[in-house]
Amino acid sequence: MIIGITGENCAGKDTVAEYLLKKGFYYLSLSDIIRDELASEGKQVTRENLIAKGNELRAKHGPGVLAKMTIAKLDKGKNYAVISIRNPSEVEELAKTPNFTLLYLTAPAEVRFERMKARNRAGDPLTFEGFISVEKAELASSDKNRQQLAEVFKMSTKKITNDADLVLLHDNVDRMLGEISLEFKSDRPSWDDYFMGIAKMVATRSNCIKRHVAAVIVKDKRIVSTGYNGTPRGTRNCDQGGCPRCNSFADSGTKLEECFCSHAEENSICQAAYHGISIKESSIYITYSPCLVCTRMIINSGIKEVIYNENYPLGQSSIRLLQEAGVKARQMKLKE
């Protein structure tokens, strides 16, 4: 199996390649061919020199030359992760090998720029504007021998958005491997599936007669609090007539001032406070995206990420507010 890895700068290509190494893959980079050429000429291995020499080699020997030279290094019976794929002809050459898959890794430009700043590599752009300018130059070219990353991305058969933590990235890579080879297919659930599945079970404890919702707060892959929607502690359950709004079957979004039920997110946050548990920098798994009231609680409690299964009917403003506050929000549909 050969997994080609492409993507924008700082999207996580090397990180995925390193993870595949742990899975028994061998690592190859098309840029290694260029590095060898630069070394033989006594030139420094800089980003600018790599790009210039790569363009020179393609112009001299054809746009697929780096892939051809890399393929010559492959041994039968081994799995490979191949990075630095920057021209459509390189994809075409690699696609001639058996069991080739091209993975496109991406992430928002703002996230990738922060990663670039954190790595603090000499020669990297110092401003976001400079970062975007360099990226635009690499994405497209009218010269078939130069980098044409945008066209390479279009040729990918798998895509992963790497905008969260390593746990999610590794889960997504595992899922991809299972989709393309039975050798890597596992019935073991990902962490997302695991915690959202628990949230679905917690929802069965809800006593609300309108909708059963649950929340599970997770920190360091450990559940620290759970909650489901229903009337407050010590009062009559909603399904026993305890909430006037729910029992009058009011339309969604109306008569909210008459609702006695606490929401799942609210209850999970309150439970953590009740037991003196910090939820700062935690993640919350919710069976529905949060309302505005719960969104404000999530933000102010220090939760860093919201993962939800279904869209709450009035939840779009909440998602925008979470994003403005710097809280990651993503939908994760649990497989039935």
Model confidence pLDDT, tens digit, residues 267-326: 999 999 999 999 999 999 999 999 999 999 999 999 999 999 999 876 688 999 999 999
Q: Is the pLDDT of residue 226 over 80?
A: yes
pLDDT band at residue 254 using 50, 70 and 90 as cut-offs: low
Q: Is the pLDDT of residue 76 over 90?
A: no
Q: Which residues contact 185 (CB under 8 A, 6 or more apart)?
A: 177, 178
42: left (phi over 0), alpha (psi -120 to 50) or beta: left
Q: Which residues contact 32 (CB under 8 A, 6 or more apart)?
A: 70, 84
- Average model confidence (pLDDT) for the chain? 90
Q: Quote the CA–CA distance of 328 and 334 in Å, as a whole number.
A: 18
pLDDT at 147: 82
Token couple for 62 = 């054809």
pLDDT at 250: 72
pLDDT band at residue 6 using 50, 70 and 90 as cut-offs: very high
Residues 190-221 have pLDDT tens digits of 899 999 999 999 999 999 988 899 999 999 99
CA neighbor of 224 nearest in space, from 170, 298, 280, 297: 280
In the chain the first and final C-alpha atoms are separated, in Å, by: 30
DSSP state of 184: G
pLDDT at 145: 80
pLDDT at 335: 67
Q: Quote the CA–CA distance of 182 and 262 in Å, as a whole number.
A: 45
Token couple for 283 = 């993640």
Q: Is the pLDDT of residue 15 over 80?
A: yes
Contact between 206 and 213 (Cβ < 8 Å)? yes
pLDDT at 12: 94
> Mean per-residue pLDDT for 253-277?
88
CA neighbor of 17 nearest in space, from 6, 9, 27: 27
pLDDT band at residue 143 using 50, 70 and 90 as cut-offs: confident
Q: Quote the CA–CA distance of 38 and 47 in Å, as a whole number.
A: 12
> Mean per-residue pLDDT for 12-35?
93
pLDDT at 251: 66
> Mean per-residue pLDDT for 122-141?
88
CA neighbor of 116 nearest in space, from 125, 107, 108: 125
Token couple for 26 = 């061998």
DSSP state of 331: E
Residue with the larger pLDDT of the pair 311 and 138: 311
pLDDT at 252: 66
pLDDT at 159: 96
Q: Do the bridges between strand 80-83 and strand 26-29 make them parallel or antiparallel, or are there none, so unpaired?
A: parallel
> Mean per-residue pLDDT for 234-251?
85
pLDDT at 36: 87
Contact between 67 and 89 (Cβ < 8 Å)? yes
Instruction: Give percent of the chain with pLDDT exceeding 70.
Output: 97
The helix (run of H) or strand (run of E) holding residue 101 is strand 100-106
Across-strand partners of 105? 7, 160
CA angle 289, 336, 279 (to 5 degrees): 40
Residues marked active site are found at 265
